[in-house]
Amino acid sequence: MNVPLPKLQQIPHAVASVHDYEPLARERMTAAAWAYLSGGAADEETMRANEAAFARFKLQPQVLQDLRGGHTQVSLFGQTYPSPLFLAPVAFQKLAHEHGELETVLGASAMQVGMVVSTQASVTLEEIAAQAATPLWFQLYLQADRDFTARLIQRAENAGYKAIVLTVDAPLSGIRNREQRSGFSLPPSVSAVNLHGMRLPSMPSVDPSGPLVFGSPLLDTAARWNDIAWIKERTSLPVLLKGILTDVDAERALAYGADGIIVSNHGGRVLDGLPATIDVLESITTAVGGRVPVLMDGGIRRGSDIFKALALGAQAVLVGRPFAWGLAAAGAVGVSHVAKLLRMELEVTMALMGCRDLANITRVHLSN
Ligand SMILES: Cc1cc2nc3c(=O)[nH]c(=O)nc-3n(C[C@H](O)[C@H](O)[C@H](O)COP(=O)(O)O)c2cc1C
């Protein structure tokens, strides 16, 4: 087994971009935890496509624009954020750093980026909120135990979270071969502490004469469209759906009362063969037509990627693996540095493209 290196105490000068964090993170995690964090579903085609697809969109700058008073502020659900960058929900962050989400929220707070906390966080949502000096959203996996789920929503609202993000693309785990081959399992010190005390459905043994997966209680109790109303009856917070990939589902989301949409394929971790998110974004922002905010994630590694997503109609973006690399490499300092790099690259891109604020970023700035 590899022995992870100690965390970096300061950031080496050679760390100039988000990509530079990947090898530094890898050396500081066990091979199995690294397989969990960095892997995707099956042959990882969707995961690779998420990153690669950005390169097909080319920038079309407008020179000699007035850039005075420029900024990257965005308003979402009544709250103003200094930039359109959020940290995506990433489960079990204690795998990357012994303090897990408590370390992440310090880094997020230092750079004032919003953070979405996973249902499967390895620290309680209340402890994270107590450390936060930046707005938090709560990512919800609807649980078979609906009473427990209702209490979870209430806990998030009581702790001051600003939105509920219902993840809709993972009623069960994807086929994650890289993780399986590594022999990954959660160490005893890491668990989904926010779900402690929940009633778990009993898992019947598989009868090979019947379906191998469809008999699972996970699918019997998985979220359905009517559950959005059920959630909205239990909270006054805005409810976003994370994991929408088609204009048809975006329309359904609005019809069923979603307050926002996150275009996502879960970073290519659930179903291999899905399209890159940046390739489907425009069809969704067009269908939504500004009725609710549309966010996106998947493959964002550069400020210019954020710019491209905004040019295709997104109001904001989330990053997953990049901040987790920062966390694994250097704790809170790594997280905040990743956020700083991306924010700075976005501003440089905007200035060179002739856009002094986010409203100025439009489709004419992309050639594809
Ligand atoms: C290790 C890991 C754990 C994740 N856990 C969750 C989760 O608990 N809930 C969720 O909705 N998405 C989860 N995601 C997906 C992210 O929220 C996000 O959609 C994805 O990471 C974005 O792609 P990127 O990593 O290329 O930025 C996870 C992603 C990773 C890498």
Residue nearest (by alpha carbon) to ligand 1 atom 29: 90
Q: What are the structure tokens assigned to 301, written together?
A: 């590694």
CB 167 near ligand 1, within 6 Å: yes
Distance, CA of 173 to CA of 165 (rounded, Å): 18
> What local confidence, expressed as pLDDT, does residue 218 receive?
83
β-strand partners of 164? 138, 239
> What local confidence, expressed as pLDDT, does residue 216 receive?
83
> What local confidence, expressed as pLDDT, does residue 141 receive?
97
Amino acid at 1: M
Quick check: is 266 catalytic? Answer: yes
3-state secondary structure of 63: coil
Residue 347 · residue 355 · CB < 8 Å: no
E strand or H helix that includes residue 177: helix 177-182
Pocket test for ligand 1, best of 166, 269, 270, 342 (most atoms within 8 A of CB): 269
Can you list the pairs that 299-302 forms with residues at least 24 positions away whose Cβ atoms lie under 8 Å?
Answer: 299/49, 299/50, 299/51, 299/52, 299/53, 299/54, 299/267, 300/54, 300/342, 301/17, 301/18, 301/19, 301/51, 301/54, 302/17, 302/18, 302/54, 302/342, 302/345
Q: Which residue is listed with tokens 């790099």?
A: 341
Taking only the tens of pLDDT, the chain with its 368 residues reads 689 999 999 999 999 999 999 999 999 999 999 999 999 999 999 999 999 999 999 999 999 999 999 999 999 999 999 999 999 999 999 999 999 999 999 999 999 999 999 999 999 999 999 999 999 999 999 999 999 999 999 999 999 999 999 999 999 999 999 999 999 999 999 999 999 999 988 877 888 888 888 888 888 889 999 999 999 999 999 999 999 999 999 999 999 999 999 999 999 999 999 999 999 999 999 999 999 999 999 999 999 999 999 999 999 999 999 999 999 999 999 999 999 999 999 999 999 999 999 999 999 999 97
Distance, CA of 48 to CA of 40 (rounded, Å): 9
Distance, CA of 129 to CA of 134 (rounded, Å): 9
> Secondary structure of the chain: what % helix, strand, coil (to 5)?
40, 10, 45
Nearest to 96, CA basis, from 328, 364, 283: 328
Pocket test for ligand 1, best of 128, 266, 305 (most atoms within 8 A of CB): 266
Question: pTM for this structure?
Answer: 0.98
Distance 320 CA to ligand 1 centre (A): 5
Distance 121 CA to ligand 1 centre (A): 12
Residue 150: how many CA atoms within 13 Å on its side-chain side?
Answer: 8
CA 237 to chain centroid: 19
Distance, CA of 177 to CA of 41 (rounded, Å): 7
Distance 68 CA to ligand 1 centre (A): 37
Query: What ligand 1 atom has the least distance to the C-alpha of 50?
Result: 26
CB 194 near ligand 1, within 6 Å: no
CB 277 near ligand 1, within 6 Å: no
Pocket test for ligand 1, best of 90, 176, 178, 296 (most atoms within 8 A of CB): 90
> What local confidence, expressed as pLDDT, does residue 349 receive?
98
Ordered structural domains, the chain, with CATH? 18-194+217-365 (3.20.20.70)
> What local confidence, expressed as pLDDT, does residue 101 receive?
99
Query: What ligand 1 atom has the least distance to the C-alpha of 319?
Result: 27
CB 84 near ligand 1, within 6 Å: no
Residues whose CB is less than 8 angstroms from the CB of residue 181 and which lie 6 or more positions away in sequence, other chains included: 35
Residue nearest (by alpha carbon) to ligand 1 atom 4: 90
Candidates 97, 99, 266, 365; catalytic one: 266
CB 140 near ligand 1, within 6 Å: no
Distance, CA of 165 to CA of 293 (rounded, Å): 13
CB 50 near ligand 1, within 6 Å: yes
Please report the beta strands in 65-193, taking only residues with DSSP state E, as ranges in sequence order.
74-76, 79-81, 85-87, 114-117, 136-140, 164-167
